[in-house]
């Protein structure tokens, strides 16, 4: 079943993010607890649409998004923490977008938003989407209907805040 507005996000899934000391565990609940969060997910770090449009849009608009009552902007991908950390650095995301790895796709599966990228040699990945959540309760889910970037862009998210 695909996550929808009004649903509670899973709190007990182990995600990863890079720190100065290396990858560290982050419980999914800690990402959302006690705050309003915009999370957007991409099929793969360093891939064309993700690197040229999706992440850059949120990096560019992070202050505007946070100005509308959002505590944190989070990028999630079914990649490892090393890749997400390097991609965030390459895109200038530090201090603007938190880069979180769902390496095994457990969070993505729990939301019902997996995508089979086997035809591209990518295996199971996340669909492209964005969601807005307050204290772990989903307010909006914006899942791309197909290839490209329309409904889950930073501008689209801003129109929902």
Positions marked active-site: 50
CB 99 within 8 A of CB 85: yes
Q: How many whole angstroms separate alpha carbon 115 and alpha carbon 50?
A: 15
DSSP state letters, the chain: ----TTPBPPSS-EEEEEETTEEEEEEHHHHHTTSEEEEEEES-TT-HHIIIIIHHHHHHHHHHHHTTT-SEEEEEESS-HHHHHHHHHHTT-TTTSEEEE-TT-HHHHHHT-EEE-GGGT--EEEPPEEEEEETTEEEEEEE-SSSS-STTSHHHHHHH-
């Amino acid at each position: 079943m695909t996550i929808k507005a009004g649903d509670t996000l899973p709190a007990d899934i182990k995600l990863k993010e890079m720190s100065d000391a290396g990858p560290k565990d982050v419980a999914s609940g800690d990402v959302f607890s006690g705050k309003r969060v915009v999370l957007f997910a991409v099929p793969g770090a360093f891939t064309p649409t993700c690197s040229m449009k999706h992440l850059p849009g949120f990096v560019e608009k992070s202050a505007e998004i946070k100005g509308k009552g959002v505590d944190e902007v989070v990028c999630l991908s079914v990649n490892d923490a090393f890749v997400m950390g390097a991609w965030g650095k390459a895109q200038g995301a530090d201090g603007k977008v938190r880069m979180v790895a769902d390496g095994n796709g457990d969070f993505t599966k729990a939301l019902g938003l997996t995508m089979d990228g086997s035809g591209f040699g990518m295996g199971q990945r996340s669909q492209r989407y964005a969601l807005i959540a307050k204290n772990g309760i989903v307010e909006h889910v914006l899942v791309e209907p197909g290839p490209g970037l329309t409904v889950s862009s930073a501008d689209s998210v801003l129109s929902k805040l």
